Amino acid sequence: MRMHRKDNLDARLAACADIMTAADLTEKNMKKAAELKDYINFAQVFKNDNSVHLEIGCGKGGFVTGMAKLHPNTNFIAVEKVSNVIITACESAKAEGLKNVHFINCPAEVLPRYIPEGSIERIYLNFSDPLPKLGYAAQRLTAPRFLSLYKNILKAGGEIWQKTDNEDFFDFSLEMYSQCGYSLLQVCRDLAANPFEGNVVTEHEKKFMDEGRKIFRAVVRRPD
């Protein structure tokens, strides 16, 4: 089912232009689009040189706004490709008066156009679409082509924090991390039974936990 386009979407997106970068997707080839550099100047956007964390697939923004409030001295970039969804996240951040969040409305493939190499301290992958059909494996956000992208934008020693409710996708991700040279730091197969301090529960996470479904979590380090 197609999502109903939100009322006055274009005007609402324009009103959030101060906290959101809208990707230029004139070039339809995503690989070529990623090669066109238009880096975001983090120091100019955030008015500081604090470390930068990146959430890919921020949805309606519950996680990134929660993290931004918990960690005011960390800057957060939140990425979401669906304009109809990211507008809710942007408006929530503006309503909260958060100064340490900036959004990018673009597919993950195009991130190298906007994110400088070696600039990100941590990447969050929260309940990414598992794309269970085998033919879609290359589109999963932990497929090798994405892990190569993440390696380039992460700082030395940078980490990926992943949460998912899909065990098959989780096992696939663990295998891809190992194949691509990432170091497995933490592997948890039941987050409810093994909580950690500072966990911000996403919209999906609360729903899944209420349903009694297990949450799987991994923390991995960028290859040297």
Distance, CA of 160 to CA of 218 (rounded, Å): 8
| Count of C-beta atoms within a 10 Å radius of residue 221 | 17
Give the count of alpha carbons within 13 A of 41, CB side only: 4
* Amino acid at position 194, single letter: N
Helices (runs of H) and strands (runs of E) counted in the chain: 9, 8
The first and second tokens of residue 113, run together, are: 């156009």
Which residues, in sequence order, are CB contacts of 111 under 8 Å at separation 6+? 34, 56, 79, 104, 149, 153
Catalytic residue among 10, 38, 129, 190: 129
**Is 129 among the catalytic positions?**
yes
The residues, any chain, with a CB within 8 Å of residue 88's CB and separated by 6 or more, are 60, 61
Segments of the chain assigned E as strands: 20-22, 52-56, 75-79, 101-105, 120-126, 154-164, 183-188, 216-221
**Cβ burial 86-125 (10 Å sphere, 16+ → b, else e):** bbbbbbbbeeeebebbbbbbbbbbbbbbbbeeebbbbbbb
**Which residues are marked as active site?**
129
